[in-house]
Homo-oligomer: A and B are copies of this chain.
Amino acid sequence: MTASRALPDRVRRVQAEMAERGIDATLLFKPENSFLLTGFNPIIYSHPVVAIVPRTGEPIMLVHALRDDHGRASAFVNDIRLYGAWSDKVTMGPNWLDALGAILGELGVREGTLAVEEDFMPVARQRQIAGHLPSATFVDASHFIDHVRLIKDADQIAMARIAARIADTGMDEAVRRVALGVSEREIALQSMHVMNQLWSSDYPDVEVADFGTLEGGAQNGLWTWALAGDRMFFNCDNPTQRQPRRGEAVSVFIWTNANGIHAENERTIAFGPLPDAHRRALDTILDIRETLRPMMKPGTRYAELFLATKAGLEKAGYGKNIPGRIGHGIGLGAHEHSSLDARSELVLEPGMLFTLEPNLRVPGTGATQISDTILITEGGCEYLTQSRGGYIEV
């Protein structure tokens, strides 16, 4: 017998949202969300992994029998059910849908109100489930799960710190490589290698797999990429053999995760002195970042951060270059649902984690890309990413 494991607070918070909405059970298939409420990332999702959350009591995890040993070693839930046929495992039957129906029967909610992730659940799968449970009522889970995900629990914050430390180490190495004038790829490769070495030496119990899809799995999610010179206007691309020329900037992007919780660290590094107009764009962004720093505390609205950025950019003459948003939520997703934009109604609370990345793309002049991972605390905020900031010239 394995000792019963403690459940993180997010289980209670999901159940509170369910009670408020009269939901009897929530069925989570999205890899980030099933992990959120079970602690299990199988890496490969060819067979559904379902978190079944009753309104009271512990979540149940339903997995294919071939995931049994791995699931029991990883998950924080105590009740793990199996479907499929595998080795000598005893299962609930050959397919997940029958097993899901049987579990909902045990819970007495086959005719109840069931929440599913409407922003993820494929049309065909929803049709299967609804056909199997003709008396159930289906409502959306995505909205309240995203809401719960805004606030990170202590276990998640600890992992965000590790992800940020790995990212910082990768950025330090990337800055050293930019100084050598090597290609985007060389910057990326050496930075990724150093991050992996740190992971290997310092974090034996941490996983760095990312979340997979129906067709693939991401075994290692410690990623660096770089865009040199005018390639910044691609915004995102796989690194190439392009080397920076003197007077150009290189933007380095690092995305990491530790046990599924992500961090982001992005820096724009001048390779020799920049032309005045580009330097001015970079300095403007750095000034705005300092203006925002004291505003990042409980009670401030996302929109206020955006509007302060917009005002700063307009004052500096960049009124035609206002970005659509200046950051996003981060956590189990590298890009979580929330956006720091003009329309957001979110108010900062302790435990929120987001990227701060007001940036400029000025055609003919240049671009900036600076991002940190920020945690809101009781008293203000904490920059989880802590590698060298400010103007960086090599």
List A residues at the B interface (Cβ < 8 Å): 31-32, 42-44, 46, 66-67, 69-70, 73, 84-88, 116-127, 140, 142, 183, 185-186, 188-189, 192-193, 196-197, 199-200, 204, 207-211, 213-221, 223-225, 233-238, 240-241, 255, 262, 320-321, 324, 332-336, 361, 363
Contact = CB atoms under 8 A, between A and B. Distances in A.
B334 A216 contact: yes
A213 B117 CA distance: 15
Contacts of A213: 31, 211, 213
B335 A46 contact: yes
Nearest to A84: B324
Given A118-B124, A124-B119, A324-B86, A43 B236 contact: yes
20 contacts: A43-B238, A66-B235, A67-B235, A88-B363, A118-B122, A120-B122, A121-B122, A122-B123, A124-B140, A124-B142, A185-B199, A192-B220, A211-B215, A213-B213, A214-B333, A215-B335, A216-B221, A216-B333, A216-B335, A220-B225
Contact of A336 (B31, B84, B215): B215
Nearest to A186: B200
Nearest to A219: B223
A125 to B, nearest CB: 7
A196 B331 CA distance: 27
Instruction: Give the residue among A124, A193, A199, A216 with the most B Cβ atoms within 10 A.
Output: A216
A320 B186 CA distance: 50
A42 B192 contact: no
A35 to B, nearest CB: 12
B185 A189 contact: no
Given A43-B237, A189-B200, A233-B69, A321 B87 contact: yes
A38 to B, nearest CB: 16
A235 B70 contact: yes
Number of copies: 2
A209 B234 contact: no
Interface centre among A70, A197, A240 (most CB of B within 10 A): A70
Nearest to A199: B185
Contacts of A238: 43, 207-209, 219-220
Nearest to A94: B324
B216 A225 contact: no
Nearest to A234: B70
Contacts of A214: 119-120, 333, 335
A266 to B, nearest CB: 13
Contacts of A86: 324, 361
A147 to B, nearest CB: 15
Contacts of A121: 122-123
A138 to B, nearest CB: 9
Given A215-B332, A216-B255, 19 more contacts: A43-B237, A43-B238, A46-B335, A86-B324, A87-B363, A116-B123, A117-B122, A118-B122, A119-B125, A122-B122, A123-B123, A124-B140, A185-B199, A189-B196, A215-B335, A216-B333, A218-B218, A218-B221, A219-B223
Contacts of A140: 124
A199 B185 CA distance: 9
Contacts of A85: 324
